[in-house]
Amino acid sequence: MLPFKKGAAYIAKDFNLPVIPVVSHNAHNLMVKGKVWLKSGEIKIEILDPIYNVNDYTVDELTSKMESLIKSKL
């Protein structure tokens, strides 16, 4: 998995919005490199608990928290 970008953390902090981490399972197996369409199959979407206290974190800390939560579910 590539490193997380900080955009979601900046937006959440700027507008004091909670972050809702979302994990997709099996999507990578259905995406063919160089193709636009997905292969037929099942993708499981897991919605994690929101992070409400975004202003308690720096942008870097919030990004790391989101990344670690999502990676723990993969």
20-55 pLDDT, tens per residue?
999 999 988 898 888 888 889 999 999 999 999 999
Is the confidence at residue 1, as pLDDT, over 90? no
Work out the average pLDDT over 53-71.
97
Number of domains in the chain: 1
Q: What token pair was written down for 11?
A: 């937006």
DSSP of 23-57, one letter per residue? EEESHHHHB-TT-SSBPS---EEEEPPPB--GGGS
Tell me the percentage of the chain whose pLDDT exceeds 70: 100
Please tell me whether the overall predicted TM-score, pTM, comes out greater than 0.75 for this model: yes
pLDDT band at 9 (very low <50, low <70, confident <90, very high): very high
Does 2 map to a domain? no
Provide the residue range defining the domain that includes 38.
Answer: 7-73
Is residue 51 situated within a structural domain? yes
